[in-house]
Amino acid sequence: MKKYHKVNKEDYEKWYGEHQAYRDRVKSDPNRLAYHLMPETGWLNDPNGLCQLHGLYHIYYQYTPFEPTGEIKLWGHYTTKDFVRYTSEEPVLFPDHDFDAHGVYSGSAFVEDGTIHYFYTGNVKCFDRDDHDYIMSGRESNTIYFSSRDGYEFSEKMVLMTNRDYPADMSCHIRDPKVFYHGSAYYMALGARDKESKGMVLLYRSENLKDWEYYNRITTEAPLGYMWECPDLFWLDGQLCLICCPQGVAPRGVDFWNVHQCTVMGLDYDFGANTYRMNRLEDNQEKISMVDRGFDFYAPQTFEDETGRRILIGWMGIPDADYTNPTTQAGWQHALTIPRVLHWAGGRLIQTPVEELKHMRCHGRTYDLGQLNEAGEKEIVYEACFQFGACDRMTLTLRAGVTLNYENRLLTLDMGGKGSGRTNRSVMVDDLRELQVFSDTSSLEVFVNGGEEVFTTRVYGMEGSIRADGACSGCVDLYDLSGFIYE
């Protein structure tokens, strides 16, 4: 397949029928994950259209089956009823129209009255001139709609908005629609970059999901990067939250060390007066927190399931990083995080793994920290739940060469040469009470103090070693994990 050429379902099916050897090569890679969603071949990035309908979870995602660098974007599709057993479905969305010919970019789903309403960005690059910079000129960002009664059969695509419908002071970078309902109207959040290269979220309003009018823009007083991607506005335990991905933010202390960020902000929004104020720190600075402290976390999306849980799934990857994934040599790249349930408590976002993942646990055992090193645990695919008493300093080895180090209130993930260019990331914590570690063949997700902080990263090194050294007391429950089942 050629970049910047339309791709339809028939093109994909023909290609798929001719590339069994490619699928076999990818399947044999030892870095394939046991309990994370991955592309069968090629590239995966942002989760899209997350929703639940009639008990079935639909997980769509940015997908390039043809090669591992993400040149042509489709929507892939997984379904599950329990977050352990999955069905890999056929791709559902293709760049097959003039208004999305250069990529069906990220979008979301809104479920109402038994219908899934989908919204996404159709990307078009113009080649009529040589001087386009594709920021201020040369790019069309079309907001597109389609729907389904079952998540498999879809209506025709409908263009809702084009560049002409966005404010005049915007650049061409407007994308990633996320829709919610409040009061008596629907609202759409769009990631944006204005002509002064200030990042923000554009908010649109509609009474019928089809006709949208500009409503407001959400941004910080001082610029926080030049572009806010993948916005998500939702209520959580009474707090209106905005998760988004600012690009172009410089490091501050231990914060914002990745090339691009993922942040969460609490908002006090008066929709009657159409005014808002961001939550503030004691010194009246806007309170902007990182969603994840690891190397590989970006473009998360949340949704409310049929039990009322607010669930987040993120892309276990990041654009433009200077570190690599050796899986590209085997013909694939990236994965999705495990699903996380969100809460808001004490003015901060709390993330915990969905309870369903406990069904993967097997061969459970418990050690006092003083016994752990003697046990000689060498697992790679495992879950470990640490409970600490007094903990002054500690080096916790998660696998050979990869450690979590805690001292003077600083918790640091050190990849120790097993990160394929990833080095270390840190967070300040007042005290270390507990850790929940999900280790997969080539990934780590570490939940700190009940999910107050999280580290997500890819890791490359298959020599197992789980041990704890230092001045720290406590115990650990350790489980092997059976992995996902694909049906």
Catalytic site positions: 46
Of 209, 321, 218, 324, whose CA–CA distance to 271 is shortest?
Answer: 218
Instruction: Give me the torsion for CA of 101, 102, 106, 111, rounded to 10°.
Output: 0
Residue 306 to residue 309: CA distance in whole angstroms:
7
Neighbours of 153 (CB within 10 A): 9
- Beta strand segments in 54-198, E: 56-64, 74-80, 85-88, 104-112, 115-125, 139-148, 158-161, 170-182, 185-194
Residue 68 to residue 306: CA distance in whole angstroms:
35
Report the phi/psi class of residue 308: left, alpha or beta, with left for phi > 0 and alpha for psi in -120 to 50: left
Length of the chain: 487
Residue 133 to residue 193: CA distance in whole angstroms:
14
Q: In what order do the strands lie in the sheet with 185-194?
A: 170-182, 185-194, 199-206, 213-218
Give the list of residues 6+ apart from residue 477 with CB closer than 8 angstroms, or none: 364, 365, 366, 384, 385
Alpha-carbon distance values, 463 to 7, 381, 401 (Å): 42, 11, 9
The tokens for 417 are 């040469």
The tokens for 259 are 């090339």
Alpha-carbon distance values, 85 to 46, 316, 484 (Å): 21, 20, 6
Decide: helix, strand or coil at residue 100: coil
Of 353, 347, 371, 329, whose CA–CA distance to 440 is shortest?
Answer: 353
